[in-house]
Amino acid sequence: MGRVEDAKISNDNMTVEVEPLSPTARLFHTPRLNCCVIATLGFNTAINVEAFKLGLENTLAKHPRFSSLPVRDDNRSMRWIPTRVNIDNHVFNPEIDPNMASSDQFLEDYLSNLTKTTLDLAKPLWEFHILNIKTSDSNGVAILKVHHSVGDGMSLISLLLACARKTSDLTSLPSIPKLKKASSRSSSSFTWVLLGIWSILVLILNTFVDLMLFAVMIFFLKDSKTPIKGGRGVERTPKRLVHRTVSLDDI
């Protein structure tokens, strides 16, 4: 990881104010902590890699977090330093065997291997992997791997939506369905007071019951064994992502 001496840097004859990393972002840069967000995007058609790169250059690559490096200064503080983005260093299009036995299994193995590698700290901490394979859910897959210090799941989803456009109108952002607000019913203030008191009593009762159950579990009971419960030393075994589609009726 590089170093920076001043809180400002010069970029194309312009002075750019650098921003310090938040405490949470610094936590994700703890040594030996490989914490990344991996998102799989399915497409109805095969992905045009060159068009995909062009779209990234005009949208995602211009975002400050996606065009900056985390650098330590002389005070051991970490700051985001703007840098130039070479889109070819962030988009990968591996050669794929067209005669593979199972494209779904190939995708699962590819995702699993991504979890075992670290991002290059010499460039902005994100990358896309383009897999033009036909799976059970899509005809093309783009995998985004981004360091968790760049953002969390919610912020990344918001950013991707902001980079997207409607197919019917390329200048409009995609619209998100809104929940219909329940119709408000007029009632007396006395009824609302009673409901508030009742809610507080229920909260106190549920908290007391949960505390008692928690104490009983610690001192007298043990967790029952299930197929997903790990044994001793499970934290040191390799992990992998497994993709499954289940029916809501089974949940």
Residue 132 confidence (pLDDT) above 90 = yes
For residue 38, the model assigns a pLDDT of: 92
Are the C-beta atoms of 35 and 49 separated by less than 8 Å?
A: no
Average pLDDT of the segment spanning 103-111? 91
Residue 74 confidence (pLDDT) above 80 = no
For residue 129, the model assigns a pLDDT of: 97
How would residue 181 be classed by pLDDT, with cut points 50, 70 and 90? low
Measured from the Cβ of residue 147, the count of other Cβ atoms closer than 10 Å reads: 22
Helix, strand, coil % in the chain, rounded to nearest 5: 35, 20, 45
Q: What is the pTM of this model?
A: 0.70
- What tokens appear for 178 in the block? 């809104």
The span from the CA of 133 to the CA of 143, in Å, is 12
- What tokens appear for 184 in the block? 């408000």
For residue 124, the model assigns a pLDDT of: 95
Considering the chain, what percentage of its residues have pLDDT values greater than 70? 90
Residues 6+ apart with CB under 8 A from 172: 165, 166
Considering the chain, what percentage of its residues have pLDDT values greater than 90? 41
Residue 10 confidence (pLDDT) above 60 = no
Q: Which of 29, 147, 148, 243 is catalytic?
A: 148
For residue 15, the model assigns a pLDDT of: 52
Q: How many CA atoms lie within 13 A of 44 on its CB side?
A: 0
Q: Considering the chain, what is the average pLDDT of its residues? A: 84
Give 95: exposed, middle or buried? Use CB within 10 Å, 0-12, 13-18, 19+: exposed
Active-site residue, 90 included: no
